[in-house]
C-alpha cells in the first residue's frame, strides 16, 4: 500500500503537464540515443507508476514522430497501474511478473531506462546493471533528480510532506485508506519524506557515474552530465547517464 502510495505520487508529480519542458529534454536525449542504437523499444526497469516516462513516451510518439514501444517492469509491479497503462494503448506494455533490474530476462530486448531508481542500487549492484546492458549490447539510460546537494538534503523531506498533503486528492487510486494514511495517521507523507531524503543522499553525482563506467567497454559511447531545465514550477536539475553501443548488434 505504501509503495504504491509513493510511486503513484511520483507519477503525478513528475508527469504534470507543467513539467513538459523537462519531459521534452528527456525525450530528445532518449530519441537521439535510441536512433544511434537502432531501436524503438524501451524496456523500463524499476517502473513504479512510470514516473515521467509516459509523458515522455507521448512526446516521442506525437511531437517527435518516433513511434517508440515501452515495456514497464518492476520487482514489485504496481499491478493496477500496469494494467491501466496497457489498456490505454500508446505503445505501452507491462510485465506483471516481478522483474529484477539485476537479472533482466533475455527476452526483454530494447533500450533500458531507469528513472529515479538507479540510486536504489549500491555502487557494485549499479555497475552490474550497466555491465549487463553492455554484455547484451543494448543501450541504457539512467535519469536521476534532484542532485545530491546540501540544500536538497535539507529540504526534500519538507517538500515531500507538502506534496503528499496537497496532492493526495488528485493522485490516481484515491481510496479511503489513502485519505486516512494522509490526513489521520500520516504514514504516507512520512514515508515519502523518508524515501525522498534517502534518495537524495544516495543519488550518484556525475563524477561517481563517470567512475562507474570506467573500463566497461571500449565499444560504448557514454554521455554523463547534469542539465537544468526551466519549467513554470522552477528549474529542474537532472543527472543522466546514457550508454549506447557504437556497434549495435
Ligand atoms: C522510486 S521508485 C521509481 C519509480 C519510477 N521509475 C519513477 O520514476 O517514479 C523505485 C522503484 O524501483 C523498484 N525496485 C527496487 N528494487 C528493484 C529491483 N532490484 N529490480 C526492479 N525494481 C526494483 C521499486 O519497486 C519501485 O517501484
Task: Name the 3-class secondary structure at 246.
Answer: coil
Please tell me the predicted confidence (pLDDT) of residue 123.
96
Shortest CA distance to 28 belongs to which of 249, 240, 233, 203?
240
SS3 call for 41 = strand
Q: What is the DSSP letter of 247?
A: S
CA of 74 to the centre of ligand 1 (A): 6
- One DSSP character per residue, 195-226 reads HHHHHHHHPPPHHHHHHHHTTS-TTEEEEEEE
Average pLDDT over every residue of 1-22:
92
pLDDT per residue over 218-243, tens digit each? 799 999 999 999 999 889 889 999 99
Mean pLDDT on 140-149: 92
Run of H or E including 92: strand 92-94
Task: At 21, list the grid cell.
Answer: 519542458
Interval 153-207: pLDDT, tens = 999 999 999 999 999 999 988 999 999 999 999 999 999 999 999 999 999 999 9
Question: What span, in angstroms and rounded, lies between the C-alpha atoms of 141 and 118?
Answer: 10
pLDDT, mean of residues 58-83: 95
Q: What is the pLDDT of residue 248?
A: 58
Q: Answer yes or no: is pLDDT of 214 > 90.
A: yes
Tell me the C-alpha distance between 5 and 84, whole Å: 16
Residue nearest to atom 4 of ligand 1 (CA): 48
Residue whose Cα lies nearest atom 12 of ligand 1: it is 46
If pLDDT is split at 50, 70 and 90, which confidence band does 145 have?
confident
Mean pLDDT of the chain: 94
DSSP conformation letters of 113-153:
EEES-GGGS-HHHHHHHHHHHHHTT--EEEEE-S---HHHH
Pocket test for ligand 1, best of 48, 55, 85, 240 (most atoms within 8 A of CB): 48
Residue 119 has pLDDT above 90, yes or no: yes
Cell numbers linked to 14: 513528475
Pocket of ligand 1 (CB under 6 A): 7, 10, 14, 45-48, 51, 74-76, 100-102, 115-117, 120
CA distance 155 to 167: 18
- Residue 63 DSSP label: T
- Ligand 1 centre to CA of 202 (Å) is 14
3 CA distance to ligand 1 middle (Å): 9
Q: Which of 19-28, 87-96, 131-140, 207-216 has the lowest mean pLDDT?
A: 87-96
What is the Cα–Cα distance from 174 to 157, expressed in whole angstroms?
Answer: 22
Rounded to whole angstroms, the Cα distance separating 160 from 165 reads 9
Q: Residues 160, 132: contact at Cβ < 8 Å?
A: no
Amino acid at each position: 500500500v505504501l509503495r504504491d502510495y509513493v510511486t503513484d505520487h511520483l507519477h503525478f508529480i513528475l508527469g504534470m503537464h507543467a513539467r513538459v519542458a523537462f519531459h521534452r529534454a528527456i525525450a530528445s536525449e532518449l530519441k537521439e540515443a535510441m536512433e544511434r542504437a537502432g531501436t524503438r523499444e524501451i524496456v523500463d526497469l524499476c517502473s513504479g507508476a512510470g514516473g515521467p516516462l509516459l509523458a515522455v513516451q507521448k512526446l516521442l510518439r506525437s511531437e517527435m514522430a518516433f513511434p517508440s514501444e515501452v515495456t514497464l517492469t518492476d520487482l514489485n509491479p504496481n499491478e493496477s497501474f500496469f494494467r491501466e497503462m496497457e489498456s490505454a494503448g500508446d505503445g505501452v506494455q507491462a510485465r506483471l511478473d516481478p522483474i529484477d533490474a539485476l537479472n533482466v530476462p533475455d527476452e526483454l530486448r530494447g533500450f533500458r531506462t531507469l528513472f529515479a531508481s538507479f540510486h536504489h542500487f549500491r555502487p557494485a549492484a549499479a555497475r552490474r546493471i550497466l555491465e549487463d546492458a553492455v554484455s547484451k549490447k543494448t543501450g541504457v539510460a539512467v535519469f536521476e533528480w534532484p542532485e545530491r546537494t546540501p540544500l536538497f538534503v535539507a529540504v526534500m523531506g519538507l517538500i515531500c510532506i507538502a506534496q503528499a498533503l496537497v496532492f493526495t486528492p488528485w493522485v490516481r487510486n484515491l481510496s479511503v485508506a489513502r485519505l486516512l494514511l494522509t490526513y489521520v495517521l500520516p504514514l504516507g507523507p512520512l514515508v515519502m519524506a523518508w524515501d525522498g531524503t534517502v534518495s537524495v543522499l544516495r543519488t550518484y553525482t556525475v563524477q561517481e557515474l563517470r567512475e562507474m563506467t570506467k573500463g566497461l567497454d571500449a565499444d560504448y559511447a557514454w554521455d554523463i552530465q547534469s542539465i537544468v531545465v526551466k519549467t513554470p514550477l522552477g528549474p529542474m536539475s537532472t543527472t543522466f547517464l546514457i550508454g549506447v553501443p557504437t556497434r549495435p548488434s
